[in-house]
Structure 1
Amino acid sequence: MKNVKVVSLFFALGMFLFSGASSAQTPDATTPPDALIKMVVTDVMASVKADPEIQKGSIPKIVDLVEKKIVPYTDMRRTTEMAMGPNWKKASAEQQAQLTTEFKNLLIRTYSGALSQLRDQTVQFKALRAAPDDNEVVVKTVVLGRGDPVPLDYRLEKTDKGWKVYDMNIMGVWLIEAYRNQFTNQISQNGIEGLVKFLQDRNKQLASAKPAN
């Protein structure tokens, strides 16, 4: 159970580290990927630690933070597309939009409770190894706390609106890979609409659950 809690904590930490809080320096379309991650990590670490409501597991506060701050720096559509694999093209435009929204909500609600455990962690930023013309990069960081150091990597793509995070690697597990088999199994059993319903039902279940403190 301890390992499950650790993974949950750092999936949550990963989600919110690239969410971005208000600061004098705000990433824009020209911000390099490593600078973007460092900028928002520093801000969000301070913001989460300073907000007692988030530390108590307030879902409305966490959802509000993510909706306002995570969207500009991520590409949830691509995250969802890659998690679905070839099945993505079998979904209608409406289903693709539904799946993207429901998957985003699932990630928020699944890992938000672990934010209450965020206390003394700090982040070490690794030097970026990428060519100037690369359109996809991996920004490597290490989360330091009371236990063993935890590698936390971000995979970003270059878009006309700047760099966007679309996948994360925590302790050797890529987020997209962690959900791909589950999505494939749901689709094979119940079709695309079955996956939509599965995500909707799971989100309703998580929304009605009381935060564990």
Structure 2
Amino acid sequence: MRAFVFGICMFLAGVLPAQASITPPDELVRSVTNEVLEIVRQDRGVRSGDPDKVMALVHDKVLPHFNFRRMTMLAVGRDWREASPEQQQRLVDAFLTLLVRTYSNALTQYRDQTVAFLPLRAASGDTNVQVRTEVRQSGAQPIPIDYMLERTDAGWKVFDVVVAGVSLVTNYRSTFAQEVRAGGIDGLIRSLENRNRELEQGAART
């Protein structure tokens, strides 16, 4: 269930439509979540693990609505300032690819989970909000998921997801810091790109 949760949280929060700049974020997440869960229930290609279909779904629905640059900055932490603009872009690209490849498979693990939406604790003028939900499944404890969104000129963008108290970006920070200490920014880039190649090769063998 945990793999499903990490994957679906990216997918559900990622399909935010263009009117997100005027739609309250909690209402937005609620309506889109219900719509997407229905798609996942009915789409045999996604549920059977068709890699092309799942990857296309993530690219089409998720990527336009996540601020991957900010996510990467948060994950890299203070070492981000030491990276050149070219290195920063390579980090963003590699981290984006890692997240997409890591969690695309989780969309195929949906079974009978439901999502409950908790009251939004935010003022009308807030530009950063936390949308709280719970993934529930019979016979298991609910797993809390917090979506962290920022309001931009282009609409609401997700910059972090917190699952059971664990921040997605913070979860990577210590590993990234170790990679930088061992091999510098270029070492971190190589590590991410190597991991992506391994995941790609593993997907090709299945």
TM > 0.5:
yes
Is 1:95 the counterpart of 2:81? The answer is no
Pick aligned residue for 1:64 from 47, 56, 63: 56
Structure 1 unmatched ranges of 5 or more: 1-5
Structure 2 unmatched ranges of 5 or more: none
Q: Who is 1:157 aligned against?
A: 150
Q: What's the CA shift for 1:111?
A: 2.0
| Aligned amino acid, residue 41 of structure 1 | T
Q: Who is 2:173 aligned against?
A: 180
Is 1:145 the counterpart of 2:141? The answer is no
Q: What's the CA shift for 1:151?
A: 0.6
* 1:5-20 pair list within 5 angstroms: 6-20=1-15
Q: Who is 1:136 aligned against?
A: 128
Is 1:35 the counterpart of 2:1? The answer is no
Q: Is the contact between residue 83 and residue 176 of structure 1 (CA under 8 Å) also seen in structure 2?
A: yes
Pick aligned residue for 1:126 from 115, 118, 140: 118
Q: What's the CA shift for 1:212?
A: 10
Structure-2 separation of matches of 1:140 and 1:193: 36
Deviations 1:117-165 (A, max 9, x none): 1021111111111111111111000111122111111011111111111
Pick aligned residue for 1:109 from 101, 114, 133: 101
Normalising by the residue count of structure 2, what TM-score does the alignment of the two structures yield? Answer: 0.92
Structure-1 separation of matches of 2:6 and 2:193: 21
Q: Is the contact between residue 18 and residue 155 of structure 2 (CA under 8 Å) also seen in structure 1?
A: no
Q: Give the RMSD, CA atoms, in angstroms.
A: 1.9
Change (3 A) 1:74 1:87: same
Higher helix share: 2
Is 1:170 the counterpart of 2:171? The answer is no
Between the two proteins, what is the percent identity of the paired residues? 40
Q: Who is 2:39 aligned against?
A: 47
For the residue of structure 2 that corresponds to 1:209, the secondary structure is: helix
| Aligned amino acid, residue 163 of structure 1 | W
Misfit runs of 4+, over 3 Å:
25-28, 210-213
Q: Is the contact between residue 27 and residue 39 of structure 1 (CA under 8 Å) also seen in structure 2?
A: no
Q: Is the contact between residue 145 and residue 161 of structure 2 (CA under 8 Å) also seen in structure 1?
A: yes
The alignment of Structure 1 onto Structure 2 pairs a total of residues equal to 205
Structure-2 separation of matches of 1:56 and 1:144: 22
Normalising by the residue count of structure 1, what TM-score does the alignment of the two structures yield? Answer: 0.90
Q: What's the CA shift for 1:95?
A: 1.4
Q: Who is 1:200 aligned against?
A: 193
